[in-house]
Amino acid sequence: MSQFTRRDFIKAIAAAYPAAVLTIPSAHAASKARVVVVGGGYGGATAARYLKMMSPTLDVTLVEKNKTYTSCPLSNEVISGYGNIKDLEIGYGGLSKRGINVVIDEVTAIDPAKKTVALKGGKSLSYDALVVSPGISFNYAGVQGYTKELAETDLPHAYKAGPQTLVLKKQLEAMPDGGTFIITVPKGPFRCPPGPYERASQVASYLKEHGKTKSKVVILDANDSFSKKGLFEQAWKMHYPDTIKWVSGANDGNVVRIDPKTKTAYTTFGEHKADVLNVIPPHHAGAIAGATGLTNDKGWCSVDMLTMESAVHKDIWVVGDSCVHGELPVYAAPKSAHMASTQAKVAAGAIIAKLNGQPAPEPFFVNTCYSIAAPDWGFSVVHIYRAEAGKLVYVKDAGGISPIETPALAVQRKLEARYAEGWLRNIMADAFA
């Protein structure tokens, strides 16, 4: 990683942002409505910030459980030692300074009829508009033998960055040469579609760098294909030949049960013994979304594609990993930080328009998702969605994955590996500064 520390980042933000105030359209100025945002990840933080920036007189409250947020993007790089978790942590001081009420508490209930939000601390907040951005909750029962307690102790999923990321890193470091690192992947949709495969790459990168060349990485997958597959497989072949093995669902890759004591993963017909067993359990919309009745029968929140307003309850907007946005399976928006951010901005515009009795502005959604497969070896996928005749359309002429074969391959991959890091600094600042 480049020599750009957390302190440099804070300095850069301080230098960049005093001047950063969006021009305020006069039509937006009158509202003193109350907007509550549930969840302070990329989706919620971005929504809070843009609501306040677009309409400074709005009363915006952000409710978040934790004092510090840890970015999931670039957290696989912490496992390998390529990055530092400190660079992924950020607090809510920037949002407070903007005049957003940041409440560190847990939401226990949402009443869509009374338009209130109950907090564990005992308070109740009323809202005119509510943004729900709770991320994901894990369905531990989806893998027999796996539990929340195991995830927080010996068998971290590390699919929410934080303490579990560091436990998994330690387990990798302690793994003897010749050991097997198993990653299990649930049936999609899941958050960060290329995440498990980037993680496998980062683990292999660590093994290569530390001369543990007899070790293997096995991906046991419930699915038959994956995001940026060609790009990952090319990288694996070039950088870690014969280290990473991907077992598809069709090849009996679907893990149904584990034995935590022996670290064995069981598929329908087979068993795989691991030295490090990294179970990524199936997940669905954050629990509060389900408890509020915002979810469909698959556990995800359906929304109006153009505004992000819930298809179930009026005056509630759902953004980020918890919603299903776009046509499944091919043209649905991926569950990425960038998508959460772009959805949050669209929701902010739609909320302000609705509060002012105006039609929602025309939405435009952009997603850029980088993966780093080896040092200076990165690639991306780009998605663009826009409105056409009142419908959300995936723009097929644009977007797509990085070229697999290109005359200046090393330059292409180096640029995107570095862009991933610059992207992270900017998207974090865009949400939290």
Partner 1 sequence: MGAFQRGLLAASLMAGLLGSAQAEDKTEALAITCNNCHGVDGVSVGPSMPSIGGLPESYLKNILLEWKAGTRYSATMGRLVKGYSDEQIADLAVYFSKKPWVPAAQKTDPKLVALGKKVTARCAGCHGETGNAGDGETPNLNGQWAEYLELEALKYRDDAVAMPNRQMRKAAQKLSEEEVKAVAEFYASQNK
- Taking the least distance from each CB to partner 1, the nearer of 44 and 179 is 44
To the nearest whole angstrom, how small is the minimum distance from the Cβ of residue 88 to partner 1?
A: 14
φ, ψ (nearest 5 deg) of residue 282 = -60, 155
For partner 1, the closer of residues 125 and 346 by Cβ is: 346
Question: Contacting partner 1 (CB under 8 A), which of 44, 186, 193, 363?
Answer: 363
226 is a contact residue toward partner 1 (CB under 8 A): no
Handedness of CA 49, 51, 54, 59 (dihedral sign): negative
Q: Supply the minimum distance, in Å, between the C-beta of residue 146 and partner 1.
A: 34
Q: What is the DSSP letter of 253?
A: -
Pairing of strands 326-327, 89-90: unpaired
Spatial neighbors of 113 by CB under 8 A, at least 6 apart, are none
414 binds partner 1 (CB under 8 A): yes
Amino acid making up residue 236 = W
Q: Does the footprint of partner 1 cover residue 22 (CB under 8 A)?
A: yes
Host H or E run for residue 184:
strand 180-185
| 26 forms part of the interface with partner 1 (CB under 8 A) | yes
Neighbouring C-beta atoms of residue 318, cutoff 10 Å: 34
**Comparison of 80 and 342: residue with beta carbon closer to partner 1:** 342
Q: How far apart are CA 319 and CA 37, in angstroms?
A: 10
Residue 358 makes contact with partner 1 by CB under 8 A? yes
153 phi and psi angles, rounded to 5 deg: -125, -90
**DSSP state string for 173-228:** HHPPTT-EEEEEEPSSP-SSTTHHHHHHHHHHHHHHHTT-TT-EEEEEESSS--TT
Considering the complex, what minimum distance in angstroms separates the CB of residue 165 from partner 1? 21
User: Shortest approach of partner 1 to residue 423 CB, angstroms?
Assistant: 5
Q: How far apart are CA 138 and CA 135, in angstroms?
A: 10
Out of 313, 319, 357, 389, the residue judged to bind partner 1 by CB under 8 A? 357
For residue 345, the minimal CB distance to partner 1 (Å) is 5
DSSP 73: T
Closer by beta carbon to partner 1, 288 or else 340: 340
Site for partner 1 in 34-73 (CB under 8 A): 50, 53
H-assigned helices in 253-363: 287-291, 337-355
**How many residues of this chain interact with partner 1, rule: CB under 8 A?**
64
> Taking contact as CB under 8 A, which single stretch among the options 100-108, 173-181, 220-228, 420-428 is the one that binds partner 1?
420-428
Query: 296 phi and psi, to 5 degrees?
Result: -90, -175
Q: Does 427 sit near partner 1 (CB under 8 A)?
A: yes
Beta bridge partners of 392: 387
Which one of 36, 63, 255, 433 is in contact with partner 1 (CB under 8 A)?
433
Residue 53 and residue 17: Cα distance in Å, rounded?
12
Q: Is residue 97 close enough to count as binding partner 1 by CB under 8 A? A: no
Of the candidate spans 30-38, 150-158, 249-257, 381-389, the one that interacts with partner 1 by CB under 8 A turns out to be 381-389
Q: Could you tell me the smallest distance in angstroms from the CB atom of residue 230 to partner 1?
A: 15
Sheet holding 244-247, edge to edge: 244-247, 216-221, 180-185, 276-279
CA atoms within 13 A on the CB side of 266: 13
> Exactly one of 184, 203, 349, 377 binds partner 1 (CB under 8 A); which one?
349
Q: At what angle do helices 337-355 and 42-54 cross, to 10 degrees?
A: 40
DSSP-derived secondary structure letter, 154: T
Nearer to partner 1, 65 or 97 (CB): 97
Residue 415 sits in the site that holds partner 1 (CB under 8 A): yes
Quick one: which of 267, 248, 251 has its CA closest to 259?
267
Q: Which of 101, 116, 180, 426 binds partner 1 (CB under 8 A)?
A: 426
CA 292 from chain center: how many Å?
22
Options 6, 25, 135, 275; binder of partner 1; rule CB under 8 A: 25
Q: Which of residues 310-339 bind partner 1 (CB under 8 A)?
A: 338
Residues at the contact surface with partner 1, assessed by CB under 8 A: 2, 4, 8-9, 11-17, 19-20, 22-23, 25-27, 50, 53, 338, 341-342, 345, 349, 357-359, 361-366, 368, 380, 382, 384, 386, 395, 397-400, 402, 407-408, 411-412, 414-416, 418-419, 421-427, 429-430, 433
